[in-house]
Amino acid sequence: MSSTPKHSVLTTKNLAVGYGKAEKETVVNTINLELKAGSFVTMVGINGSGKSTLLRTLAGLQEPLEGEIFLEGKPLNQLDSATKSLKISVVLTSQVISKNLTVLELVSLGRQPYTNWLGKLTEEDKAEIQAALAATELENLKHKACYALSDGQLQRALIARALAQNTEVILLDEPTTHLDLHHKASIFSLLKKIARQQQKTILCTTHDIELVLSLCDELIVLHNNTAIQNTPEALIEQGIFENLFPGINVYFDKTSRRFLIR
């Protein structure tokens, strides 16, 4: 088990993300990121700063407006969707899943990129599914229907599906929305453990800045249409959080590493 992040897995060069074709609506520009194997990175920023837009673009679900994304040195747009699904898994909160599926069935869907057209699971597929259930502590719930899960359990099941997909990169959009503090912390700890133990590159968007400051390896802060990537300590030192929220109501207290209200 290694704890030092190693080689670069996902990088961007002067990436601009946003919407529109004839008339471009750029949300974030000049994005230069470097995500490494074994690291747990979170993306933060106020509502509408572009977290989901950037995450979807990194996942290849949305075209960049400018610039490039590289996966292990290869341009992402040169990979076909089958290859991409072996390399990147995505957990979206808005993802429509049939809640009638059991946890086991949901997690098994993670093996789709590997199974033949009949969808028959091999022994290797079954072992990966079992490992994903074990890593997310869902073995006891595997026969339960997804509609009968709590929000926290459902998030863990979605993470398990991504784990079963066994990709180098896992991208998650706000996996802790609706969870209480205890379950938020347990999801973030789980993601960090997976990054470390399985040398995955994990990026998730969140509004829980205070929590991830003490848990993640690096943050990507979206602010004023730019993206800044660094360690929590360096970002705090640079005073990045001080002006994150508009107006003067909310400010960041460096000593307690907390946001306070004036």
Binding mask 12-31 for ligand ATP (x = CB under 6 A): -------x-------x----
Written as six digits, the tokens of 119 are 């969808």
Cβ 93 to ligand ATP, closest distance in Å? 9
Cβ 129 to ligand ATP, closest distance in Å? 31
Interface residue with ligand ATP among 11, 39, 49, 206 (CB under 6 A) is: 49
Interface residue with ligand ATP among 1, 4, 21, 47 (CB under 6 A) is: 47
Cβ 49 to ligand ATP, closest distance in Å? 4
Residues 53-72 that bind ligand ATP (CB under 6 A): 53
Interface residue with ligand ATP among 16, 31, 37, 50 (CB under 6 A) is: 50
Interface residue with ligand ATP among 48, 75, 119, 239 (CB under 6 A) is: 48
38 binds ligand ATP (CB under 6 A): no
Cβ 16 to ligand ATP, closest distance in Å? 13
Phi, psi torsion values for 8, nearest 5 degrees: -70, 135
Cβ 141 to ligand ATP, closest distance in Å? 28
- Contacting range for ligand ATP; rule: CB under 6 A; set: 45-53, 69-77, 186-194, 251-259: 45-53
- Beta strands (DSSP E) in the chain are 8-19, 25-31, 34-36, 40-44, 66-71, 74-75, 88-91, 169-173, 201-205, 218-223, 226-230, 250-253, 258-261
Written as six digits, the tokens of 248 are 């003067």
Left (φ > 0), alpha (ψ -120 to 50) or beta: where does 73 sit?
A: left
Cβ 27 to ligand ATP, closest distance in Å? 5
**3-class secondary structure, 86:** helix
Question: Do the strands 34-36 and 8-19 form a parallel or antiparallel pair, or are they unpaired?
Answer: antiparallel
- Contacting range for ligand ATP; rule: CB under 6 A; set: 41-49, 119-127, 144-152, 212-220: 41-49
Residue nearer to ligand ATP on the CB measure, 47 or 100:
47
223 binds ligand ATP (CB under 6 A): no
Residue whose entry in the numeric block shows the structure tokens 């997804």: 146
Interface residue with ligand ATP among 36, 51, 87, 111 (CB under 6 A) is: 51
User: How far are the Cα atoms of 3, 11, 75, 127, 257 from residue 223, in angstroms, in the given order?
Assistant: 30, 19, 26, 42, 19
119 binds ligand ATP (CB under 6 A): no
Residue whose entry in the numeric block shows the structure tokens 């230069």: 32
Give the 3-state secondary structure of 40-68. Answer: EEEEECCCCCCHHHHHHHHCCCCCCCEEE
CA distance 201 to 85: 15
Residue nearer to ligand ATP on the CB measure, 48 or 119:
48
**Residues at the contact surface with ligand ATP, assessed by CB under 6 A:** 19, 27, 45, 47-53
